[in-house]
Structure 1
Amino acid sequence: MTRRPPNEYSDAAENNAPFIQRFWIYQRERFPLAAHAVMIAAFSFSAVSYSRISRGVAGFIAWPDFLVGAFTTFTLFLLVRIFDEFKDAKDDAMHRKELPVPRGLISLDELKSVGVVVFVAQVAINLLFFPKMLLTYGVVIIYLCLMGKEFFVADWLKKRPFWYVTSHMVIIPLIDIYASGLDWLLAGVDAPDGMLFFFAVSFMNGIVLEIGRKIRNPSDEKIGVDTYSHMLGPKRATKLWMAVLAVTWVLSVAASYYAGYGTLAFAILTVIFMTSCIPAILFLTGMNSKRAKAMELTAAGWTVAMYLSLGGIPMLEQLFSR
């Protein structure tokens, strides 16, 4: 498939640049490597850390193992992004012509090649370092492929936003199982009971991110672009986002209990929750584009804070106190 012909959003200099330059522009817009690296590193480190703390095992896993696992989780999320480009190609061509693929910056064939290279690298590196992880990895890939096909019920899902977002967010705890498995699975033991709550937090964090990035100020809504603020109205969508935050907060408290954290952890999680609600409250009292964007940024900050609070920071405290 060749690149799409230029449209009103195209930049001839960018479209005619070498692939590396064009892919750099693509990632900046659709999958910022630096920002995602921070979030996914926190995700992976915290999943492993929470598992070890819940099992009562001191210290961290071997760093080479972690780096291989972190590479896999990071590139799995990149594959999710690439699969989404194929899944959304028709809608993007009609309603989001400013995006890289519709404006001819990069083609789906080129993204497919990137995906194939990433997949081969993932299989090779896991086969080399820990073949035991390939089964868990394979489950993630199979689910990702089903997502790419909208589980063969695309029309049904499109009419049912709840089931759409629910089915797509399952990929996050599946990747979490892989990440945490770098501890318990490679150690040959069962996952600690608290991991169920940690996986639930991961699932809900995905919904926090999904809803948070799809709440718009009414003047920023675009025809043909599905947002929660369009489907539910901005006030109902914002209240839904706050409700999802509250559920995630409750699950995070349960996860902290199973890890043996004390009242300080409960207090910290509560402060994070209350602080994260502020942008939503401000948006409800006076809607504008900046406040809508603040909710999206808060969703990302909330996600990082949850992971660091539940696993990353307690592990760092343990490592530096030794």
Structure 2
Amino acid sequence: MTLAQRLWIYQSERFPLAKTLPLLACFSAASITISAVLANRPLPGLAAYGVGFLLVFILFFQLRVADEIKDAEDDAKYRPERPIPRGLVTLRLIVWLGIGTIPIGVLLALAHGAGLIWLLLLTWGWLAAMSFEFGVPKWLKARPTLYLLSHMAIMPLIDLLLTGIEWLPHGAAAPGLWLFIALSFANGCVLEIGRKLWAPENERVGVQTYSGLWGPRRAAHVWLVFVGIAALLLVGVGVATGFALAFSLIAAVGFAICLRAARGYANAPSPAAEKQIDTLAGLWVFGCYATAGFLPLALGALS
């Protein structure tokens, strides 16, 4: 196979563009939009949205590269079917591709100006620390809750960068923006835990999952707690934008759907229930960002 063919297979397995691009487009556009809406400012131009999408794409690809570095030893031992251990591509190639996106990110941040480069460097600093497990890999992996929280801290930093595309040129962020940034942290936990709630028959030696660490029932309850926190923060964003009722209805319906799925998984953690939780985690996050970013615009236009 050619290099292009091998990279295409790699992305389909490890960084699926069909699933990733819509979520990143929604995330970046919603972040920029809500920053303007909360500050009662006009929306920025299309160039700002383009910079946001490209930067978040670069950062999420670099997160994948960081995972490949961190998991290289475990993948070779326990997951030989993955693209790198089975020889489809080399770790060196993927790392160089990640490094190659750095100057692109720098140019995008400098082209936008207004000090965006400093928020990008802050985010990269945390990403670099994550890649080396903050210098204490064994200690951190022995504490899965702290591991989760420390790694998900990258999400509000990415959101600070994205919203900064809008608020940095104006000198200050809207007071209520912290609700949306906190929502990104909660949603990061929803995604991360949701993709690691497995059926018992799918658990594998050497592969750390939250269902394996805490048991299916407790893990489902923890996942639901983060969904609940995200729901409350979404309502808070609705209050800040002046559309509390609409946001509350959406949050309540979404939480009820997730509650039913979590109960189903907790009572019978089958492969079908595992897949449902994983799917709902992605839909929940997508729905939160779509609601926060675009519902105020739609309702404002109607009123």
Task: Bin the TM-score by the shorter chain.
Answer: over 0.9
Secondary structure in 2 matching 1:105? coil
Q: Residue 137 of structure 2 corresponds to which residue in structure 1?
A: 154
Q: Aligned in 2, Cα 1:75/1:90: closer, same or farther, shift over 3 Å?
A: same
Alignment partner of 1:283 is 2:265? yes
3-state SS, counterpart of residue 87 of structure 2: coil
Instruction: Tell me the TM-score normalized by structure 1.
Output: 0.90
Pick aligned residue for 2:44 from 31, 49, 61: 61
Partner in structure 1 of residue 27 of structure 2: 43
Work out which of the residue numbers 244, 250, 266 in structure 2 matches 1:268.
Answer: 250
Q: How does 1:77-88 map to 2 (within 5 A)?
A: 77-88=60-71
- Show the counterpart of 2:289: 307
Paired positions, count: 303
Aligned-pair distance for 1:131? 5.7
**5+ residue gaps, structure 1:** 1-16
For the structure 1 residues 76 and 145, does the alpha-carbon distance in structure 2 shift closer, same or farther, using more than 3 Å as the test? same
Matched residues in 2 for 1:38 and 1:317: separation? Answer: 23
Deviation at 1:186, TM superposition (A): 2.1
For 1:1-322, what aligned pairs fall within 5 Å after superposition? Answer: 17-58=1-42, 60-130=43-113, 132-188=115-171, 190-316=172-298, 318=300
Amino acid in the other structure paired with 2:13: E
User: How far off is 1:68 after superposition?
Assistant: 1.6
> Which amino acid in structure 2 is aligned with residue 18 of structure 1?
T
Please state how far the C-alpha of 1:29 moved relative to its aligned partner: 0.6
Question: Residue 168 of structure 1: CA displacement?
Answer: 0.3
Q: 1:287, CA displacement in angstroms?
A: 2.6
State the Cα distance separating 1:321 from its structure 2 match: 5.8
Cα deviation for residue 260 of structure 1 reads 2.0
Partner-residue secondary structure (3-state), 2:179: helix
Deviates more, 1:263-272 or 1:218-227: 263-272
Letter in 1 for 2:288: M
Q: Which amino acid aligns with 2:149?
A: T
- Paired with 2:196 and 2:249, the residues of 1 have a C-alpha distance of 29
* C-alpha displacement of 1:316: 4.8
Could you tell me the percent identity over the aligned residues? 34
Q: CA deviation at 1:86?
A: 0.5
Give structure 1 regions of 4+ aligned residues with deviation exceeding 4 angstroms: none
Q: Could you give the per-residue CA deviations for residues 159-184 of structure 1, whole angstroms, max 9, x where no partner exists?
A: 00011010000111101001111111
Residue 155 of structure 1 aligns with an amino acid whose one-letter code is K
Contact 2:127 2:154 in 1 (8 A): yes
Distance 2:298 2:98 in 1: 34
Deviations 1:95-141 (A, max 9, x none): 11111111111111101121122111111222233262101111011
2:29/2:52 contact within 8 Å kept: no
Structure 1 residues 111 and 316: CA distance shift in structure 2, 3 A: farther
User: How far off is 1:57 after superposition?
Assistant: 1.7
Tell me the alpha carbon deviations over residues 134-159 of structure 1, each in whole angstroms, 9 at most, x when there is no partner: 01111011111111010001111010
Give how far 1:317 is off.
Answer: 5.1
Taking the aligned partners of 2:252 and 2:175, their CA distance within structure 1 comes to: 23
TM-score by structure 2 length?
0.96
Gap runs ≥5 in structure 2:
none
